[in-house]
Structure 1
Amino acid sequence: MALLITEKCINCDMCDPECPNDAISMGPEIYEIDPDRCTECKGHYDKPTCQSVCPITNCIITDPEHIETEDELLEKFVTLQGLV
């Protein structure tokens, strides 16, 4: 499951530098997460770092349009790291 930054985002710049997959970037109005690069930090950390550092409750949520299993997220991690 990729994550999604909601309209609650205040553009505090906390999440972008924390993403180990470079999946977060500034969109037209708020930060956005590229679902093709988001692994929910699987392979890097125990939990998503963007959620950990975000000062706004429920600002970064599971993206209902990009549901993936833990195995799929780990496979994406391996691919992004060039480990295949």
Structure 2
Amino acid sequence: MAIELGAPVRVSPLIRFGRWSFLGLGVLYGAYHQSRLSKREVGIRAIEAEKKAIRDAKAAEEKKRALEEEARAIADLSSPTKK
């Protein structure tokens, strides 16, 4: 069941030029857009790094405070009660 295909149609040079032009423009636009998005992402990462440093400092302080409170509670429980 082979299907007979006709001879290939000769494409106009103007159409070929248009196709290649749009392909080239698409590649150039993609490179420009990628560059623009990369610059934006670098800025976002810098802001996130600053926020992370603040968040880590707060978490470390809370952990330190919790450990001190736990140590105080253990000391209160282990000391003999005076009656």
Higher strand share: 1
- Higher fraction of helix: 2
Q: Who wins on radius of gyration, i.e. which is larger?
A: 2
TM-score band, normalised by shorter chain: under 0.3
TM-score, normalised relative to structure 2: 0.18
What TM-score do you get using the length of structure 1 for normalisation? 0.18
